[in-house]
Amino acid sequence: MINIIVYFTGMGLSIFWGTGFTKAEVSIHYPLVRPQQQKWSFSGPFGVYDRAQLQRGLKVYTEICATCHSLKFVAFHNLRALNYDEQEIKSFSNQFAIKDGPNEEGNIFTRPANPTDHFPAPFANDIQAAFANNGAIPSDLSLIARARAVPRPFPNCLTDILKNYTTAGADYIHALLTGYETTLSLEQKISAGKWYNPFFISGESIAMAPPLYDGRIVYDDGSPQTRDQYARDIAAFLTWTADPHMETRKKYGLRVIIFLTLYTGLIFFVKRRIWADYDKGHRS
Ligand code: HEC
């Protein structure tokens, strides 16, 4: 018993010690500042995607992020889930050029993309991508919202399970894209071609120039044309690309919970019925 108490106290202290720092300087773990939890339409067990927001997020991706980041796991026909019809998807995909081939003469050729094609990558290979971006390779964004949904340190990781906190990836993307201005402490020296961003998970500086600013993209649905809104929309869109079946999963999850609750009740009464004679015999 004593052993168990000592073990858990030790573990608790070590977790607390490891994450208890508040000053950026003493932290050896990135990010230096953790993202704030934001409100999302898709958070919680009943949350669903806001289709208009996903459409705006697609616009942000196509007009800005697509210059550097690929989205290789998303095919154009997947955009049906964003309430686009066949014709809209066809004309949208036709704006992209795809390298195909070899043709009958053995040559690689370029053609407009079809709905069955995936989003084309902006660079031919990683070397070209790194060369154009100061040595850093812009990651594929298809699954980034999942990849960056890092569990928060103790004690939040425990309450997050109970609160069903599943939007850490979206919070991270939003914080990263809006977090460039956070003051640079004098001790930190950022090399040329890099930017200070305390939310970046792999270092104190990032090789991506701030991609968003107010008014950069024109929205036609009257939504605010601010950096904050762009960041929210692209974060929602990238959550969808990483987890396109979330709504179905939640729907089935709810049905399963309802079924199991009813089933438990049923089993309870069946048990009482089966053991009724035995219970009676024991009581008398
Ligand atoms: C001019 C090129 C460029 C543009 C435009 C750009 N990025 Fe990046 N991005 C980069 C590079 C380069 C990196 C890698 C940074 C590093 O490793 O230091 C990166 C990294 C990232 C990361 C990864 C951070 C991590 O945790 O690994 C995310 C997320 C991201 N970009 C999102 C976006 C989004 C969303 C947009 C569009 C609003 C965008 N980027 C536009 C070049 C770009």
pLDDT, tens digit, for every residue of 64-101? 999 999 999 999 999 999 999 999 999 999 999 999 99
Q: Does ligand 1 come within 6 angstroms of the Cβ of 78? A: no
Nearest to 141 by CA among 178, 114, 172: 172
Tell me how far CA of residue 261 lies from CA of 25, 33, 254, 255, 268, in angstroms.
Answer: 51, 42, 11, 10, 11
* Helix (H), strand (E), coil (C) string for 112-173: ECCCCCECCCCCCCHHHHHHHCCCCCCCCCCCHHHHCCCCCCCCHHHHHHHHCCCCHHHHHH
User: 223-240, pLDDT tens digit by residue?
Assistant: 999 999 999 999 999 999
Mean pLDDT of the chain: 88
Ligand 1 centroid vs 138 CA: distance in angstroms?
5
Query: Atom 2, ligand 1: which residue's CA is nearest?
Result: 68
Give the integer Cα–Cα distance in Å for 165 and 172: 13
If you average pLDDT over residues 8-15, what whole number do you get?
A: 50
Ligand 1 centroid vs 197 CA: distance in angstroms?
12
pLDDT tops 60 at residue 6: no
Ligand 1 centroid vs 59 CA: distance in angstroms?
16
User: 110-141, pLDDT tens digit by residue?
Assistant: 999 999 999 999 999 999 999 999 899 999 99
Ligand 1 binding pocket mutation candidate from 54, 62, 63, 68 (most atoms within 8 A of CB)? 68
Residue 186 pLDDT level (bands cut at 50, 70, 90): low
Contact 82, 58 (CB under 8 A): yes
Ligand 1 centroid vs 69 CA: distance in angstroms?
7
pLDDT tops 90 at residue 155: no
User: 263-284, pLDDT tens digit by residue?
Assistant: 999 999 999 999 988 877 776 5
Ligand 1 centroid vs 101 CA: distance in angstroms?
30
pLDDT at 248: 96
If you average pLDDT over residues 196-224, what whole number do you get?
A: 93
Ligand 1 binding pocket mutation candidate from 208, 228, 229 (most atoms within 8 A of CB)? 208
pLDDT tops 90 at residue 244: yes
Neighbours of 50 (CB within 10 A): 15
Q: Which residues contact 198 (CB under 8 A, 6 or more apart)?
A: 24, 31, 32, 33, 179, 182, 204
Q: Does ligand 1 come within 6 angstroms of the Cβ of 68? A: yes
pTM metric for this prediction? 0.86
Q: Does ligand 1 come within 6 angstroms of the Cβ of 149? A: no
If you average pLDDT over residues 143-165, what whole number do you get?
A: 89
If you average pLDDT over residues 214-220, what whole number do you get?
A: 97
